[in-house]
Structure 1
């Protein structure tokens, strides 16, 4: 009996050790925290899939609610005894049908001089997270810069597929530009920012509003580790980092499909880059994701211009949308990049999305846009909200604040 119990214990320990083992880059700051975050994400996905298998919700909605619960618990611990909203008036309201949270520094409200403004769009793969989970970050931006910050609560996929999140982000930004006086904001000094999927939406909004002649131009855009393209899932950063559970290649492709059509039956096609035709791989759009922008020693792609309406696609619902800049801003034509506002792009070495940001920075610079590319060799996806407890994330926050202070 004792032998059997001992054997069961040993097996349990081995299985637990195996499950909790998480590959960690050798130079990543706070490796224990990195591993813990990755294990939490991996466990949450397993739980979400088990729930779906048992007929309880779907993988994306289960994953959302699991992460909401875990994040709320973590936030309560991390902010215990602090009042990070001190000095701010925070209001949940609606901008043209879109829920937003407005952060107004008391000093700005009482000031005789109008202050800058910033639209912030949170990340979460278009599927997860909400303004509550970025509350400390957005409050910090408002307090440190003395500006009015509007955090957008856009509709989430898969309940609301593209273009719902884009439409909400555009509507909220337009409303803020049109009603800036109400918040004592200088409408000519409003910027936009976002992280991950929020970086996608911020970039897409910037492209869309650049063509609006009846609105003031956005002063700047600040994109933190943005996801910008769904055409090539074999970029060097996907190949280097696709196994990392904080944001794996498998999860990122799932996010794209939940946002596109809520049909993950074609996930393996996308992961293998078989969702694009040979014709498309040789078109000008392939040049927009040319790996030479990341690895300069490579030969540039030889591309053949082709009209979008003549491109052939496999039988995947709405797959042609991957060429729509509202969905994937890196697919914007060169002419559409010209005249965009000064841009800040943050990228991290340990991130499948690293090369999306590098490519966009390169293309914007070639189009004559002033770009500040802030790259973190030891950084990983989603690290910025840890700015109070992670030194590297703290440095990244300081650099973001310095950029916004100078460019708003």
Structure 2
């Protein structure tokens, strides 16, 4: 049945801690990202993250720094965990925010990065890449690579150890995180990824997985939303099977760094995330896969209202601490 002309997923099938937010979204008219301009979508997203996200934790140090990219500069933000002496070199987690390559910034995911830093005892460095459609593929991905290069060359100043590193991100950020985690060029820079943390990542930009047919209305992120994000990020002649866009299509037989991955059932990205975890496991990779059938995309940026999101951050932090051998 085509859900674009049918009823949305019934509220009773939505997780108890998430149903109020979904009900409110439906009552308000289901205005989503693709229904407004990119500028308005960015503003709306920041408001939602501020309203629904975790309260920001105090960290030992927070600094926003500029780093060079092609034809300009971009920003990153360093979060040093509380309780770690200033002169101690720590492991590092590189975090890449989601938002379909179009929305989101350092502020939208600030509380997530604070929590991950304190709970993992690793320094978290969040990356602000330039956004589409002003900067289409591969600019955002190239910016993230440039950030890794900057972190590696400035490691002694930043008091981080790039040989004890982990990379992660949500949604589009998870896409770029796993692409870079498996890119030998990052290791050639001196960054050794001991693991990757992916929250409901984009892994197949061909949009061919069955969950695109299931999630067509009733949620902030639907198949139509993802088609809109894809149109903003890529050009009309882009081959969506490119490994930098659709890592799932190139994952079979490729052993990856240890993987912590979250998928949610009410998400057009659900099936590609599940398939990505399965392919990694078949290739002999260590995989910790958490599937939440009753939740929707964005549970992490709504962790202030959705208790499951807060719990997932704790589990991710435990994974990070274990892989980076911190003293939490």
Please state how far the C-alpha of 1:46 moved relative to its aligned partner. 8.0
Is residue 2:69 matched to residue 1:65?
Answer: no
Counterparts of 1:39-118 in structure 2 under 5 Å? 42-45=30-33, 48=36, 59-72=37-50, 74=51, 79=55, 84-96=56-68, 97-112=73-88, 114-118=89-93
Instruction: Give the RMSD, CA atoms, in angstroms.
Output: 2.5
Q: Which has more strand, going by share of residues?
A: 2
CA distance in 2, matches of 1:129, 1:202: 15
C-alpha separation in 1, matches of 2:186 and 2:118: 32
The CA distance in 2 between the partners of 1:35 and 1:332, in whole Å, is 38
Is contact 2:52–2:304 with CA below 8 Å preserved after alignment? Answer: no
Gaps of 5+ in 1: 1-20, 49-58, 262-316
User: 1:407 and 1:45 mapped to 2: Cα distance?
Assistant: 36
Question: Which residue matches 1:186?
Answer: 161
Any residues of structure 2 matched to 1:197-346 within 5 Å, and which? 197-209=172-184, 212-233=187-208, 235-261=209-235, 317-320=236-239, 322-332=240-250, 334=252, 337-338=254-255, 340-346=256-262
CA contact (8 A) 2:30 2:218 kept: no
Q: Deviations over 1:259-314 (max 9, x none)?
A: 002xxxxxxxxxxxxxxxxxxxxxxxxxxxxxxxxxxxxxxxxxxxxxxxxxxxxx
1:147 correspondence with 2:122: yes
Query: Can you list the C-alpha shifts for 1:328-387, whole angstroms capped at 9, x where unaligned?
Result: 22232546x23x211111111111111111111111112221111111122211111333
- Whether the 8 Å CA contact 1:29–1:390 is kept in 2: the answer is no
TM-score by length of 2: 0.86
CA distance in 2, matches of 1:39, 1:154: 34
**Pair 46,219 (structure 1): closer, same or farther in 2 beyond 3 Å:** closer
TM-score normalised by length of structure 1 = 0.70
| Residue 35 (structure 1) aligns with | 23
- Matches of 1:204 and 1:25 in 2, distance apart? 36
Contact 1:162 1:260 in 2 (8 A): yes
Q: Which has the larger radius of gyration?
A: 1
User: Residue 121 of structure 1 corresponds to which residue in structure 2?
Assistant: 96
Alpha carbons of structure 1 residues 398 and 70: separation in structure 2 relative to 1, 3 Å: closer
Change beyond 3 A, Cα 1:365–1:45: closer
What runs of 5+ residues in structure 2 fail to find an aligned partner? 1-7
Aligned to 1:395: 311
SS in 2 for 1:319: coil
Q: Which has the higher contact order (CA 8 A, sep 6+)?
A: 2
356, 366, 369: which one pairs with 2:285? 369
Post-superposition CA distance 1:105-152 (Å, at most 9, x none): 35334354x321100011111111111011111111111222211111
Between the aligned partners of 1:138 and 1:198, the Cα distance in structure 2 is 13
> Which residue does the alignment assign to 1:8?
none
Going from structure 1 to structure 2, the CA distance change for 1:404 and 1:181 (only over 3 Å counts) comes to same
Q: How many residues get paired?
A: 312
Alpha-carbon separation, structure 2, partners of 1:199 and 1:142: 18
Q: Could you give the per-residue CA deviations for residues 52-88 of structure 1, whole angstroms, max 9, x where no partner exists? A: xxxxxxx22332233334544x269x74xxxx34232
Q: Which residue of 1 aligns with 2:3?
A: none
Structure 1 Cα separation of the partners of residues 185 and 250 of structure 2: 12
Distance 1:117 1:214, change over 3 A: closer
CA gap of 1:220–1:164, structure 2 versus 1, over 3 A, is same
Between the aligned partners of 1:41 and 1:361, the Cα distance in structure 2 is 34
What SS is found at the alignment partner of 1:345? strand
Residue 88 of structure 1 contacts residue 104 of structure 1 at CA under 8 Å; is this kept in 2?
yes
SS in 2 for 1:90: strand
Counterpart of 1:137 in structure 2 is: 112
